[in-house]
Structure 1
Amino acid sequence: MKKYILRRILQAIPLLWFISLVSFALIKLAPGDPVNSFVTPNMSAEDVERIRHSLGLDQPVYMQYLIWLKNIFQGDFGYSLTTHRPVLTMILERLPATIGLMGAALLLSLLIAIPISMIAAAKKNRVTDRVISMVSYIGISIPSFWFGIMLIYIFAVKLHVLPSMGMRTIGVDSIWDILKHGILPCAVLTFMNVSMYSRYIRSQAISQLEEDYVQIQYAYGATKNRVLWRHVLKNVLLPIITILGMSFADLIAGAFITETVFSWPGMGSLGITSIFALDYPVIMGITMFSSVMLVIGNLVADILYGVADPRIKTMR
């Protein structure tokens, strides 16, 4: 197992390098000039060029990339072009809000998606399965920003039972206040995740119910519920582990649209702000953090595969 983990880490190094190269190239190809955010009407052409030189933007693109890469290895993610603050500090400030929101949504999504998916698989093509499938299709189809706006209109504007935006109420410092602010964005993310996860888990459970070991358990006198929750669920763990591994990046990057709609002070809203402001160092910082977490998530998922199914260890 140690050799396998070491091999996966070594394989991740060129992958992360390729991601950084492509991301840097795409940012440079994007329209707009970050120097314009510093330019005032009274500045001369010499002043503009002086700003460009101070930002290192007067050097060839490959030199800009090499300098950036060197600084990254030293733990220096640069400074924001808009706030002039260290990028790493800005990311670490926003990280707890995103981890709290995304972690809660992921946990609720799995707690809801697993049982309803198993029930839908056990009652394939019946009324229960059709209702669950219809709700899942609706969740997959509707835009998250529209669903978020509808929740704000109903629960904040009309009923006045939940706050519409932000993470805290001014002058209020309590856990309950944070939880109230997180209910609506968490509900949006949970509904969207459950809609996707349930379709995936349901199809896996249906395929497992058609396996020979299920019929053997019935022949031994096992009840349908025992077979479903004790045997089938165990074999459905692998796709659930895949979902968890792929969700590691979301814990860092956040939900860009949902966080923006609800003004949640997380990584998603920071990313949107940085994109519109052409704040390249922050964009690259968020991209690399997300890429590292995605690689770590896949590695953790592979390790959990071996724990959930010992046969996978023998195949490596």
Structure 2
Amino acid sequence: MIAFLVRRIGQSIVVLIGVSIIAFILEHLLPGGPAKAIIGPRATPIQIAAFNHQNGLDKPVVVQYFVYMWHLLQGNLGRSYKLNQTVNSILIRTVPESILLVGSALVFSLIIAIPIGIYQAVKRNGIFDYTATSISFLLYSMPSFWLGIILILFLAVNVHFLPAEAPQGANLGAILAHPSGLVLPILTLTLVSYASFSRYMRSSAIEALAQDWIRTAKAKGLSQRTILFKHMLRNALIPIATLVGLSLPSLITAGVITESVFNFPGTGFVFINAANTEDYSLLLGIIIFVGVLTVVGNLIADIAYAVLDPRVRYR
């Protein structure tokens, strides 16, 4: 297991180096170079030359890359010249808010999807199974922005039951002070995530229930509850563990559209604004951050395989 972790960490480092190279190349492929993209299209040659000299952009490309990597290793993701803030400070302020939004939706969707998926597997090809499957397909096919608008229309505009806009605030405490505004964005992401998790849980549970050791447990006279939750559940959760591990980047990316629909001041909303204002430094900094989360998520998913299924041995 230790050898596997060392190998996977080595592979993750290689992937992160590849991500950094891509981000570095994209930064230098900007029209007019990074200087003109940051200063603006009306930048004079003198201003561009001064900016390049100040930021080391007049040095050889290889030297620039190693300086860029040294900054990344120090945790420096760059600076947003549009907002006059470091990318780190922006992420420190907005990531907790995105974690609150998408993390809550992830937890709620798992709480709902796992028992429903198991019940569908046990009662497959029945009325409940067909109904739940139809609902899952319907939710899975809905774009999150469209589902969010529908929920706003019915629950905020027509019924006036919930606010249409997410709570606004400069920090997490200010947002938590108005919890009713979080209901619709969290509900939107929960419904979309539930559709995916429930389908995987149903398929995994059906496959696990068909195994020989389940038939052996039934032959021993064990109760259905014991069979389902002591023997079957751990093995059926393996695909879900993979999905949850790979969902780490969605703490930033999955909420991009939803945060825009509900005007939620998270990282996704900042990413959209950076794209609209051509704040390339902030965009690339967030991309690097998401790349790190993706690698960490894959590593967690691999570890979860070994934890949930002791038969799995990495050679």
Q: Structure 1 counterpart of 2:306, which letter? A: G
> Residue 130 of structure 2 aligns with which residue?
130
Q: Distance in 2 between matches of 1:293 and 1:47?
A: 36
> Residue 199 of structure 1 aligns with which residue?
199
SS of the equivalent of 1:137 reads: helix
Q: Distance in 2 between matches of 1:95 and 1:152?
A: 24
For the 8 Å contact 1:81–1:280, the answer to whether it is kept is: no
> Residue 67 of structure 1 aligns with which residue?
67
For the 8 Å contact 1:113–1:197, the answer to whether it is kept is: yes
Q: Structure 1 counterpart of 2:155, which letter? A: F
Shift of 1:196: 0.7
Q: Distance in 1 between matches of 2:152 and 2:31?
A: 34
Identity percentage over the alignment?
37
Pairing of 1:81-120 with structure 2 (within 5 A): 81-120=81-120
> Residue 310 of structure 2 aligns with which residue?
310
1:24 aligns with 2:24: yes
Q: Structure 2 counterpart of 1:103, which letter? A: G
| Paired positions, count | 312
> Residue 183 of structure 1 aligns with which residue?
183
Q: Distance in 1 between matches of 2:295 and 2:253?
A: 13
Q: Structure 2 counterpart of 1:285, which letter? A: G
Q: Structure 2 counterpart of 1:205, which letter? A: A
> Residue 237 of structure 1 aligns with which residue?
237
* C-alpha RMSD over aligned residues: 2.7
Q: 1:105-132: CA deviations, max 9, x gaps? A: 1110110110110111111111111111
> Residue 296 of structure 1 aligns with which residue?
296
Q: Distance in 1 between matches of 2:75 and 2:8?
A: 23
Structure 1 210/175 Cα, relative in aligned 2: closer, same or farther at 3 Å? same
> Residue 151 of structure 1 aligns with which residue?
151
Q: Structure 2 counterpart of 1:17, which letter? A: I
Q: Distance in 2 between matches of 1:96 and 1:258?
A: 16
> Residue 162 of structure 1 aligns with which residue?
162
Structure 1 40/23 Cα, relative in aligned 2: closer, same or farther at 3 Å? closer
SS of the equivalent of 1:162 reads: coil
Q: Distance in 1 between matches of 2:38 and 2:67?
A: 22
Q: Distance in 2 between matches of 1:279 and 1:183?
A: 31
Q: Distance in 2 between matches of 1:210 and 1:307?
A: 22
Moved more, 291-300 or 44-53: 44-53
Structure 1 235/53 Cα, relative in aligned 2: closer, same or farther at 3 Å? same
Q: Please, which runs of 5 or more residues in structure 2 have no aligned partner?
A: none
Structure 1 60/127 Cα, relative in aligned 2: closer, same or farther at 3 Å? farther
Shift of 1:151: 1.1
For the 8 Å contact 2:259–2:265, the answer to whether it is kept is: yes
For the 8 Å contact 1:271–1:286, the answer to whether it is kept is: yes
Moved more, 1-10 or 61-70: 61-70
Moved more, 225-234 or 262-271: 225-234
SS of the equivalent of 2:88 reads: helix
Moved more, 176-185 or 255-264: 176-185
Q: 1:238-267: CA deviations, max 9, x gaps? A: 112112211122224451111111111111
> Residue 273 of structure 2 aligns with which residue?
273
Q: Structure 2 counterpart of 1:147, which letter? A: L
Shift of 1:134: 0.5
Q: Distance in 2 between matches of 1:44 and 1:252?
A: 36
Shift of 1:182: 1.2
Q: Distance in 2 between matches of 1:290 and 1:36?
A: 22
SS of the equivalent of 1:75 reads: coil
Q: Distance in 2 between matches of 1:16 and 1:180?
A: 39
For the 8 Å contact 2:120–2:128, the answer to whether it is kept is: yes
Shift of 1:233: 1.3
